[in-house]
């Protein structure tokens, strides 16, 4: 049996031999170039347009074949894309800027959702009129995350107890004063299904609105601009196709992710199409300098980015069809 080291060596030699025969960018007509999109969680509606592009075989006429790779708790899309394990990855705009600061050569190229649907969910309470009324409660959050540090500072939340967020709803159920971070697309509906009446305050309503993005590497943009543009044109069509018929993906996504019930899928689709995806289907994916500048300023306000950080190094908005730079 060949050892892992020998297998890797053999693979490297085979790839080198292939590169010597096939010039860069040359592909047989019957062998489209694979394009891998690494998702940041298990299959769910906020990735829908990418799964749609795969299901509809979009990009075939441009010589590419899109495949989406499921994420999960052990998947870190930014380092994995930066190291070449996939051509593209799904992530959050704030994470992309912070990765650039640390030297990762990644750049957002397509914004599929107008903002990451972060939310803070709490037990239904008519006395809560604003986030100020949640002072002193226990917050289950991603500790140290930029959105949480910004929220605490912006809204002067003091005396809060912070614990790591988990998928275990029993902690929340048993603590009437707990606030839990999640996605507005899923967590309130999950709580309702579990018989726990809740309300929520979205981070977007508080002013924190990082795009939900597709990103790639500087090298990919520089060396394979045609492939990048073809991929973005295909996924833009994928998102448009999804909006026109959101139920078409339900069998695929609910089949791949057993926690995504048909009811949860439908509720998420409704919110996404109403509030998170451009109603001008030809402009899905577009981004603005102002939004990126706003985000960089927010990250600077909590000392996540230096004052002289240029947000433009974290994105390229010239590659999506229909988006005027």
Confidence label for 43 from pLDDT (cuts 50, 70 and 90): very high
Give φ, ψ of 34 to 5 degrees: -70, 135
Judged by average pLDDT, the poorest of 12-26, 93-107, 174-188 is 12-26
**What is the 8-class DSSP label of residue 135?**
T
Domain 118-206 in this protein, CATH class: alpha beta
Give φ, ψ of 96 to 5 degrees: -65, -45
Q: What is the pLDDT of residues 275-310, one digit of tens each?
A: 999 999 999 999 999 999 999 999 999 999 999 999
Name which of 133, 131, 276, 124 is nearest 201 in CA terms.
Answer: 131
**pLDDT reported for residue 257:** 96
| Tokens standing for residue 182 | 């999640």
- Round to whole Å and give the CA distance between 64 and 25: 11
**pLDDT reported for residue 16:** 37
- For the chain, give every residue range classified as CATH 3.40.190.10: 33-116+210-314, 118-206
User: Which H helix or E strand runs over 154?
Assistant: helix 146-154
What is the pTM (predicted TM-score) of this model? 0.89
Q: Average pLDDT, stretch 244-263?
A: 96
Helix (H, G, I), strand (E, B) or coil at 111: strand
Residue 209 has pLDDT above 80, yes or no: yes
Pick the CATH number of 33-116+210-314 from 3.40.190.10, 1.10.600.10, 1.10.3720.10, 3.40.120.10: 3.40.190.10
Name which of 60, 57, 63, 61 is nearest 26 in CA terms.
Answer: 63
């Amino acid at each position: 049996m060949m050892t892992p080291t020998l297998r890797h060596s053999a693979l490297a030699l085979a790839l080198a031999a292939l590169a010597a025969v096939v010039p860069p960018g040359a592909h047989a007509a019957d062998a489209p170039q694979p394009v891998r999109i690494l998702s940041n969680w298990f299959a769910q509606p906020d990735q829908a347009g990418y799964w749609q592009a795969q299901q509809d075989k979009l990009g075939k006429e441009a010589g590419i074949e899109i495949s989406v790779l499921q994420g999960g708790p052990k998947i870190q899309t930014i380092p994995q894309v930066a190291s070449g394990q996939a051509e593209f990855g799904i992530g959050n705009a704030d994470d992309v800027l912070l990765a650039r600061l640390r030297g990762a050569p990644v750049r957002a190229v397509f914004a599929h959702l107008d903002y990451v649907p972060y939310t803070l969910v709490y037990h239904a309470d008519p006395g809560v009129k604003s986030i100020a009324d949640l002072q002193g409660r226990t917050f289950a959050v991603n500790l140290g995350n930029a959105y949480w540090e910004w929220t605490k500072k912006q809204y002067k939340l003091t005396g809060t107890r912070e614990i790591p967020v988990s998928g275990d709803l029993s902690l929340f159920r048993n603590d009437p004063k707990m606030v839990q971070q999640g996605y507005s697309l899923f967590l309130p509906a999950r709580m309702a299904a579990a018989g726990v009446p809740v309300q929520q305050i979205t981070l977007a309503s508080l002013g924190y609105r990082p795009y939900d993005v597709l990103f790639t590497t500087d090298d990919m943009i520089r060396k394979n601009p045609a492939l990048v543009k073809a991929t973005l044109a295909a996924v833009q069509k994928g998102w448009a196709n999804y909006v026109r018929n959101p139920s078409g993906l339900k069998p695929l996504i609910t089949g791949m992710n057993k926690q995504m019930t048909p009811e949860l899928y439908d509720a998420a689709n409704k919110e996404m199409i109403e509030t998170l995806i451009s109603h001008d289907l030809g402009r899905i994916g577009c981004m603005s300098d102002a939004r990126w500048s706003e985000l960089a300023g927010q990250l600077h306000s909590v000392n996540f980015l230096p004052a002289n950080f240029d947000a433009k190094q974290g994105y390229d908005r010239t590659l999506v069809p229909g988006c005027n730079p």
